[in-house]
Amino acid sequence: MAAMAATRRADMFLELRDDPRESGPPLTDERTALVEYLRCVRLTLEIKCQGLDAEALARRSVEPSTMSLLGLVRHLTEMERHAFRNVMAGQGAAALYCSDTNRDGDFDGSVADPKVVQAAWDAWRAEVDFAERFVAAASSLDVTGRDRQGVGSGQGPISLREVLLEMIHEYARHVGHADLLRERIDGRIGQ
């Protein structure tokens, strides 16, 4: 059992001293804590995808699922875009991958093409950047977006606090999926 644990531990991604999630600010207030937790789960997604080519990133989990690491990047891009641009900023930005006729376009369009991969990461980074700037400029966590339109549960307006919690929740679910997808690809685990 000890030998197995030592072998599995060796397959982890980073040494603790090199983990960018360990260099965040002290969690001294609610806003800092929420922003830092979201930063960490975003970094976890990036870490899970590091070092993989387009074929590996687009590899599906198990039939009939269409889930892939690339699909998760695209899905979380859509979530960031909708939550921060549409619900909080009221921009009415069109979806990047999904449509009324293909609600699973984020996963369905995740193909093993380096240009598709690069475009997905560029879009994800742009949405994260927008979200970070929006949160930094917000006067408080009580800033309210228009109707939640599927972000979180319930109906009606939603606060920035709730959006941050919902995004942490969304990423946490999907980095769990990313753990399993990455382990299936090359055996890398954890963190």
Prior bond of 64 cis (ω within 30°):
yes
Q: Find the farthest-apart pair of alpha carbons in the chain and give their distance in angstroms, rounded.
A: 54
Share of the chain above pLDDT 90, in %: 69
191 located within any domain: no
Domain of residue 132: give its range: 29-186
CA dist 119 and 140 (Å) reads: 33
113: domain CATH number? Answer: 1.20.120.450
Tell whether the model's pLDDT for residue 5 goes beyond 50.
Answer: no
Q: How confident is the model over 50-80, as pLDDT tens digits? A: 999 999 999 998 888 999 999 999 999 999 9
60 Cβ contact list (under 8 Å, min separation 6): 66, 67, 68
Cβ atoms < 10 Å from Cβ of 143? 16
**Which pair of tokens denotes residue 136?**
């930094």
Q: How confident is the model over 135-162, as pLDDT tens digits? A: 999 999 999 997 877 787 778 899 999 9
Tell whether the model's pLDDT for residue 171 goes beyond 70.
Answer: yes
The total of structural domains in the chain comes to 1
20 located within any domain: no
51 located within any domain: yes
Helices assigned H by DSSP within the chain: 2-10, 30-49, 54-58, 69-80, 105-108, 114-137, 160-186
Q: Name the residue with tokens 């072998």.
A: 7
24 located within any domain: no
38 located within any domain: yes
Tell whether the model's pLDDT for residue 99 goes beyond 50.
Answer: yes
Max avg pLDDT among 27-31, 113-117, 156-160? 113-117
pLDDT-derived band at 2, boundaries 50, 70, 90: very low
Across the chain, what does the average pLDDT equal?
Answer: 88
100 located within any domain: yes
Share of the chain above pLDDT 70, in %: 85
4 located within any domain: no
3-state SS assignment for residue 15: coil
22 located within any domain: no
The residues facing 159 across adjacent strands are 144
Residue 68 sits at the vertex; the CA angle it makes with 67 and 71, to the nearest 5 degrees, is 85
pTM of the full structure = 0.87
| Residue 37 and residue 175 in contact, taking contact as beta carbons nearer than 8 Å | no
| Residue 177 and residue 51 in contact, taking contact as beta carbons nearer than 8 Å | no
